[in-house]
Amino acid sequence: MADRFVYLLVFLLLGWQPARAQEKPLFEDEAVLQFKLVADFQKLLKDRGDDRKYHAATLFYQDAAGGEISLPLRVMVRGNRRRDVTVCRFPPLMLNLIRKKMPAGTVFEGQNKLKLVTHCVGEEYVLREYLVYKVYNLLAEESFRVRLCQVTYEDSLGKRKPEVRYAFLIEDDKSMASRLDMKLIPSKMRISMDLVDPKAMARLALFQYMIGNTDWSVPYRHNIDLLAPDSLSEPIPVPFDFDYAGIVGAPYAAPPPELGIKSVKQRLYRAYTFPDNIHREMVNTFNAYRTPIYAVYRQCEPLSKSGLRQSLKYLDSFYAIINHPRKFDREIVKVGERNEKAYVTVKGLK
């Protein structure tokens, strides 16, 4: 009897293995994701033209159990202005993960193409742009999720010194639409602002005004995606790319001359006007989220003290406008009415 018990105990011990720690989905974890990206960066960073190609790379990170995971992928320089070597020393990247070669259960499971916003000219601006996405996440479910990362960039040929910088990943547009059970409206379909869901449009317009961003357009689908659950529903606009926002303050950001403002820090309302009840609802919404919005900045440990102070001061000036009836009427309502009569289209979007 004792022998049988010992045999059973040994059998159970040999067959038992500790359960693998469960990894949270990529965009459902607030922790900073640390990973190493290995590639021929000398070659990759020079390939910035219109005919640029993907380059082989490997991504390394530690899973929840502490084991090192390696993922083969392809990487390409992306972006418009930030692709310019005179603007960004280290341009943003597109990560193209190879699903067939991806181990099951990784934090990147289910992901294919991911935008990586890199340090460009400085990590502080990366953090500020990341926080803009997080603020819009509070205001709208129809928004791009992001994940703050700390990336070690290592040259596969040893021609560059490794560097560790903050960056952030952006949810793929198709994944975002699928998560919301909606469909992306093709960019070739020209849709004006007055055909978009009015409350969603008013929310987006006031948000862009809050952050001091004029670098967007609904009809030209510039830094805007449109979503709808079906062909009968009014589209919902989803913004992205906020490096030209005044609250970010990127040194290369300048407003187009057509708008008549001297700095991106100078706010300019870029939508049409809305009925009074919608304006009131938006003001109430932004006031209700004021404390959580400020908390987004206060809780970001990597953000510098000066960056925090400047960001909160910029937000203070926004709330001073929307909570002052005459200022709101002058800066929002009257400008919206003027836009309806003669909207200024930025050169290059036509």
Backbone angles phi, psi at 169, to 5 degrees: -95, 145
Determine the Cα–Cα distance for residues 57 and 152; give it in Å rounded to an integer. Answer: 13
| pLDDT in the model for residue 12 | 41
Least confident of 4-18, 247-261, 325-339: 4-18
CATH C-level class of 182-341: mainly alpha
Q: What is the mean pLDDT of the chain?
A: 92
Amino acid at 17: Q
Binned at pLDDT 50, 70 and 90, residue 7 comes out as very low
Spell out the residues 6+ positions from residue 142 whose beta carbon is closer than 8 angstroms to its own. Answer: 180, 182, 200, 227, 236, 238
Domain ranges of the chain: 26-174, 182-341
Amino acid at 249: G
The verdict on pTM exceeding 0.85 is yes
pLDDT at 56 over 70: yes
Binned at pLDDT 50, 70 and 90, residue 8 comes out as very low
| pLDDT in the model for residue 22 | 57
Q: Mean pLDDT, to the nearest integer, of 63-84? A: 92
Q: State percent of the chain over pLDDT 70.
A: 93
| pLDDT in the model for residue 77 | 97
Backbone angles phi, psi at 35, to 5 degrees: -150, 165
Spell out the residues 6+ positions from residue 174 whose beta carbon is closer than 8 angstroms to its own. Answer: 184
Binned at pLDDT 50, 70 and 90, residue 67 comes out as confident
Binned at pLDDT 50, 70 and 90, residue 350 comes out as low
| pLDDT in the model for residue 32 | 97
Binned at pLDDT 50, 70 and 90, residue 349 comes out as confident
pLDDT at 11 over 50: no
Contact yes or no for 68/58 (Cβ under 8 A)? no
Kindly tell me the burial class for residue 285, based on how many C-beta atoms sit within 10 Å of its own C-beta (0-12, 13-18, 19 or more): middle
| pLDDT in the model for residue 21 | 54
pLDDT at 13 over 50: no
Q: Is 68 helix (H, G, I), strand (E, B) or coil?
A: strand
| pLDDT in the model for residue 65 | 83
Q: Is 255 helix (H, G, I), strand (E, B) or coil?
A: coil
pLDDT digits (tens, 9 = 90+) for 25-48: 899 999 999 999 999 999 999 999
Give bridge partners of residue 39 from the DSSP assignment: 57, 155
Neighbours of 216 (CB within 10 A): 24
- Sheet containing 236-239: give its strands across: 183-184, 224-228, 236-239
| pLDDT in the model for residue 329 | 98
Least confident of 25-39, 278-292, 333-347: 333-347
Binned at pLDDT 50, 70 and 90, residue 344 comes out as confident
**Dihedral Cα 214, 344, 276, 142, nearest 10 deg:** -40
Q: Please state whether beta strands 68-77 and 163-170 pair in parallel, antiparallel, or not at all (unpaired).
A: unpaired
| pLDDT in the model for residue 175 | 96
Determine the Cα–Cα distance for residues 58 and 72; give it in Å rounded to an integer. Answer: 5
Look-up of token digits 């490096």? 243
pLDDT digits (tens, 9 = 90+) for 135-172: 999 999 999 999 999 999 999 999 899 999 999 999 99
DSSP 141: S
Q: Mean pLDDT, to the nearest integer, of 89-112? A: 90
| pLDDT in the model for residue 3 | 53
Determine the Cα–Cα distance for residues 94 and 75; give it in Å rounded to an integer. Answer: 6
Q: How far is CA 243 from CA 41, 133, 254, 322, in A?
A: 24, 11, 10, 24
Tell which residue, 238, 237, 249, 173, has the closest CA to residue 213: 249
| pLDDT in the model for residue 346 | 86
| pLDDT in the model for residue 215 | 97
Q: State percent of the chain over pLDDT 90.
A: 85
Q: Mean pLDDT, to the nearest integer, of 305-311? A: 98
Q: Is 38 helix (H, G, I), strand (E, B) or coil?
A: strand
Determine the Cα–Cα distance for residues 25 and 107; give it in Å rounded to an integer. Answer: 6
Tell which residue, 242, 333, 223, has the closest CA to residue 283: 333
What end-to-end distance do the CA atoms of the chain give, in Å? 87
pLDDT at 201 over 90: yes
Tell which residue, 175, 153, 161, has the closest CA to residue 93: 153
| pLDDT in the model for residue 6 | 44
